[in-house]
Amino acid sequence: MLTINDPSDSAPWPRTGRIPSLDGLRAVAVALVLFAHVHQTAGFPRVRFFDAVGSHAAIGVEIFFVISGFLITTLMLRELGRDNAVNISAFYQRRVLRIVPAYACLLVVIAIIDGRGLVHLRRADWLAALTYTVNFLPHPNWNIGHAWSLSIEEHFYLIWPLVLARGGIAFARRAALGAIAFCFVMRWVVLLFAPRYSAEAELWTFTRLDAIAFGCLLAVVACDVVWRERLRRLCSSNRIIGLAALGLVGSLCLSTLSAKFSVGIAYTANSALIALLLWSAVERPGSRVGRWLNHPAVAFVGVGSYSLYLWQQIFLNRTSHAFACAFPQNLLFACAAAWVSYRFIERPFLSLKGRISTKRDPERVGRQTPSTAAAPQASATSP
């Protein structure tokens, strides 16, 4: 039973409006990704602590995945609750307007510097980049390597809206659980029967989409008022949230000791813990952590997180000794490129996407929702 629009629920965000803390969580995720790359670049201080933190900072991508699944599913559930249907064509149209323009601009820039001999992409690199299949390409060029996560997202969202729109809430819940179980099993199949492919299994769609599925499952479960209240009671305990955070840190530490734990256990455990911490942040924006996540400066970074993720790869190249790729100016160049991308590419297309959403839903006119806000929170993208 879909109860997301139950007026007895005191929190407004499940029904409409901006979801608290998500931009702040995006900021945390992109900061982790940036650190994972920048700490290996020329000029960065060689400190053991930094290396230890940087080696685990790729967890930022998993945070992005969980956020994306939660946000996109929540927005579709709102549409389903309001219109008793999900407009599939409109979903894909919004997705293209959100993802493709900035990514296409990045590829144009890479093509220019490739033509000048500054980078060297193979034909296979270009084919994978243009078809969102980088995650299946062995050893992609560094400059497009981060598109592996975008590829997984695009593959997942080709199917997920159809699952929710055609199958309904109950079927979507089972599908999310099935995706989580399937990925867990497939990773162990690779570990036990084809261990030489275990590194590649960290990038394949059918072994890594469970992180997105955890976010989707959280949104589907939370659309029911009864389950939402259970989640709130669970996350109201500082002790439980503290244990979840410690569990996530412990899982990251254990991942460096055992490849089987890293691939076979950690990805599932990490995504589940991230989903729990995400719910706590969304439901407790007035807590100390919640206030920090919703601070305008932190949210500002989260708003531009997609652009930051796209453009940082060119400048945070650990194998390059070029001036633009050396610390600290590489961070400045990455942030500047991201700002230009967001200001002159993303925002115009976000405005267009917002007008399309408003036209389809006249009630959104004048209402502060993710679709009408400048921030890309309604467009739900993650690397």
Label residue 222 by pLDDT band (50, 70, 90): very high
Q: Is residue 10 in a domain?
A: no
Residue 364 has pLDDT above 90, yes or no: no
pTM: 0.91
**pLDDT value at position 368?**
33
Contact call for residues 55 and 32 (beta carbons, < 8 A) = no
* Sole residue written with tokens 């409006």: 17
**pLDDT value at position 4?**
53
Residue 136 has pLDDT above 50, yes or no: yes
Q: Is residue 17 in a domain?
A: no
* Sole residue written with tokens 């690199």: 125
Q: Is residue 15 in a domain?
A: no
Helix-helix angle 123-130:147-193, to 10 degrees: 100
Q: Is residue 90 in a domain?
A: yes
Q: Is residue 324 in a domain?
A: yes
Q: Is residue 204 in a domain?
A: yes
Q: Give ∠ CA 264-60-23 in degrees, rounded to 5.
A: 135
Residues 6+ apart with CB under 8 A from 333: 315, 324
Residue 204 has pLDDT above 90, yes or no: yes
CB atoms < 10 A from the CB of 266, how many? 22
Name the nearest CA neighbour of 175 among 162, 190, 188. 162
What integer is the mean pLDDT of 269-281? Answer: 97
**pLDDT value at position 97?**
93
Residue 35 has pLDDT above 80, yes or no: yes
SS3 state of residue 319: coil
Domains in the chain: how many in total? 1
Q: Is residue 11 in a domain?
A: no
Q: Which domain holds residue 268?
A: 22-378
Residues 6+ apart with CB under 8 A from 181: none
Name the nearest CA neighbour of 2 among 168, 233, 229, 177. 168
How far, in Å, are 136, 185, 189, 202 from residue 206 at the CA level? 11, 10, 12, 10
Q: Give ∠ CA 301-159-129 in degrees, rounded to 5.
A: 60
Give the tens place of pLDDT for each residue, 189-203: 999 999 999 999 999
Q: What's at 171, amino acid-wise? A: F
Residue 374 has pLDDT above 50, yes or no: no
Class of residue 152 by CB neighbours under 10 A (exposed 0-12, middle 13-18, buried 19+):
buried
Contact call for residues 153 and 65 (beta carbons, < 8 A) = yes
| Mean pLDDT estimate for the chain | 90
CB atoms < 10 A from the CB of 104, how many? 12
Q: Is residue 184 in a domain?
A: yes
Pinpoint the alpha helices (H) of 131-222: 142-145, 147-193, 205-208, 210-222
